[in-house]
């Protein structure tokens, strides 16, 4: 099993990771850290509730769910169809030699090994958490009812502090020729891009059904099984001390009725197949390869360095301009998709580079000169479109 797992993990394109608890290998590119006005957060857009319009929810899930696989034991029955002890046994058998290593021939059950070595005894998992009474049920603010918290600070404080910091981050200035940028913006509008990529960070904050956007579909459903144990969205009041008092104040996070369909789509629940949110476009010069699956990648040699096998798999960094050209030109994109299909690693990672069929190419009535200024414009986006206060 360990050997089989390594094949899956080693398939992830560099700069991607998969911490979704769905037993499907479908890593996503590390999302943009230029987060201001980029809500809802994550590629699916499922982090949409609570402080900083969902950014604290994203930050919390990194530490309270993704980086602590031991906390998943409580949900193993409905997420993995597995006994919690079996799940923990698989996990801890591979722990580094030491107090957390489970020995199948030994006397102790996996949970006993974990409890004996746990730096936070009596609380779930290994990290330090404020625990909602609804743990381990998912609520749309936290995957499992846990909030990563530091003793001596308010519950969930570090996640909120990180959100405030992150919303201040701006990419380095690009310094493109303003006339070419203006021409490129006109092409962007003529090609219909601004229908979705609008607003201060060039996202309209919408989640688009996976079938409509046409990109790799499996990742959009990563949260589907969590529907089996849902609790009403809620969190601790932001001034709740940690460790928690005996009667901590809980704050419900009501979902406005008009927000519910988008939230269900983002989580792949409510009978939907899931979707991907319209990402913001700030800092594109720094975020190649493109799309959630990292599949749109072209290296410095636009003829030879095609797709993931032509770039990251052989240690070649994708070139932002060449990769963006492959995003908007279907003839180039077809070659990228074919190159990815020819790579066993990319197939294992489900990195296809398919979909998002919004073209600014010859069949759509655009010239190469149009493409060049459009790409100049896209790479020039190094700030919010208006001078706005930090959210």
Interface positions with ligand HEC (CB under 6 A)? 43, 191-193, 195-197, 208, 213, 215, 276, 278-279, 281, 284, 287, 290-292, 327-328, 356, 358, 360
Indicate the helix (H) or strand (E) that contains 371. helix 368-380
Shortest distance in whole angstroms from residue 271 CB to ligand HEC = 20
Shortest distance in whole angstroms from residue 31 CB to ligand HEC = 8
The pair of structure tokens assigned to 92 is: 């801890």
CA distance 71 to 329: 44
* Beta-bridge mates of residue 234: 252
Query: Is the peptide bond preceding residue 40 cis, with omega within 30 degrees of 0?
Result: yes
CA 342 to centroid of chain Cα atoms: 26
Shortest distance in whole angstroms from residue 284 CB to ligand HEC = 6
- Pick the closer one to ligand HEC by CB: 147 or 188: 188
- Pick the closer one to ligand HEC by CB: 92 or 266: 266
Shortest distance in whole angstroms from residue 96 CB to ligand HEC = 35
The pair of structure tokens assigned to 72 is: 């998943």
Query: Is the peptide bond preceding residue 47 cis, with omega within 30 degrees of 0?
Result: no
Q: How far is CA 262 from CA 31, 144, 256, in A?
A: 20, 21, 11
Shortest distance in whole angstroms from residue 26 CB to ligand HEC = 11
DSSP of 157-176: HHHHHHHHHHTT--PPP---
- Pick the closer one to ligand HEC by CB: 70 or 352: 352
Closest to 47 measured CA to CA, from 25, 65, 69: 65
- Pick the closer one to ligand HEC by CB: 19 or 86: 19
Which residues, 6+ apart, have CB-to-CB distance to 275 below 8 Å?
Answer: 44, 45, 207, 208, 209, 210, 212, 213, 220, 265, 266, 268
Shortest distance in whole angstroms from residue 359 CB to ligand HEC = 6
- Pick the closer one to ligand HEC by CB: 30 or 260: 30
Judge whether 349 and 11 are in contact, CB under 8 Å.
yes
Judge whether 187 and 374 are in contact, CB under 8 Å.
yes
| Locus of tokens 């201060």 | 200
- Pick the closer one to ligand HEC by CB: 27 or 279: 279
CA distance 16 to 276: 16
Shortest distance in whole angstroms from residue 9 CB to ligand HEC = 21
- Pick the closer one to ligand HEC by CB: 136 or 275: 275
Shortest distance in whole angstroms from residue 76 CB to ligand HEC = 29
Judge whether 50 and 253 are in contact, CB under 8 Å.
yes
CA distance 138 to 115: 23
The pair of structure tokens assigned to 149 is: 């918290």
Shortest distance in whole angstroms from residue 296 CB to ligand HEC = 7
- Pick the closer one to ligand HEC by CB: 82 or 296: 296
Shortest distance in whole angstroms from residue 213 CB to ligand HEC = 5
- Pick the closer one to ligand HEC by CB: 157 or 356: 356
Question: Helical H runs in the chain?
Answer: 2-10, 55-61, 76-80, 84-93, 110-117, 157-166, 178-190, 210-213, 260-267, 307-310, 320-328, 330-341, 344-348, 368-380
- Pick the closer one to ligand HEC by CB: 148 or 284: 284
**What is the SS3 assignment for 146?**
strand
Q: How far is CA 144 from CA 27, 129, 181, 315, in A?
A: 21, 11, 45, 37
């Amino acid at each position: 099993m360990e050997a089989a797992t390594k094949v899956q993990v080693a398939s992830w394109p560099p700069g991607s990771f998969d911490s979704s608890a769905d037993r499907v290998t479908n890593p996503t590119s590390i999302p943009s850290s230029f987060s201001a006005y980029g809500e809802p957060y994550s590629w699916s857009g499922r982090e949409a509730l609570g402080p900083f319009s969902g950014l604290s929810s994203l930050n919390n899930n990194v530490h309270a769910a993704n980086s602590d696989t031991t906390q998943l034991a409580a949900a193993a029955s409905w997420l993995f169809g597995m006994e919690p002890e079996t799940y923990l046994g698989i996990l801890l058998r591979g722990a580094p030699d030491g107090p957390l290593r489970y020995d199948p021939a030994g006397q102790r059950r996996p949970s006993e090994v974990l409890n004996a070595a746990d730096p936070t005894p009596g609380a779930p998992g290994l990290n330090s958490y404020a625990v909602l009474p609804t743990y381990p049920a998912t609520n749309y603010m936290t995957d499992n009812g846990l909030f990563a918290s530091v003793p001596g600070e308010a519950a969930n404080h570090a996640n909120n502090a990180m959100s405030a910091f992150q919303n201040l981050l701006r990419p380095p200035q690009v310094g493109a020729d303003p006339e070419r940028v203006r021409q490129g913006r006109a092409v962007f509008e003529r090609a219909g891009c601004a229908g979705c990529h609008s607003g201060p960070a060039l996202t309209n904050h919408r989640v688009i059904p996976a079938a409509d956007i046409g990109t790799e579909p499996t990742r959009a459903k990563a949260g589907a099984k969590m529907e089996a144990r849902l609790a009403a969205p809620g969190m601790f009041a932001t001034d709740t001390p940690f460790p928690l008092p005996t009667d901590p104040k809980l704050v419900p996070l009501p979902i406005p009725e008009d927000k519910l369909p988008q939230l269900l789509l983002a989580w792949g629940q409510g009978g939907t197949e899931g979707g991907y949110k319209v990402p913001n476009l700030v800092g594109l010069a720094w975020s190649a390869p493109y799309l959630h699956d990292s599949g749109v990648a072209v290296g410095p040699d636009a003829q030879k360095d095609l797709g993931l096998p032509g770039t990251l798999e052989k240690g070649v960094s994708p070139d932002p301009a060449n990769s963006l050209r492959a995003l908007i030109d279907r003839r180039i994109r077809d070659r990228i998709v074919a190159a990815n299909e020819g790579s066993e690693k990319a197939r294992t990672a489900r990195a296809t580079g398919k979909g998002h069929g919004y073209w600014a190419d010859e069949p759509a009535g655009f010239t190469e000169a149009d493409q060049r200024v459009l790409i100049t414009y896209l790479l020039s986006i190094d700030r919010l479109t208006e001078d706005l206060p930090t959210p």
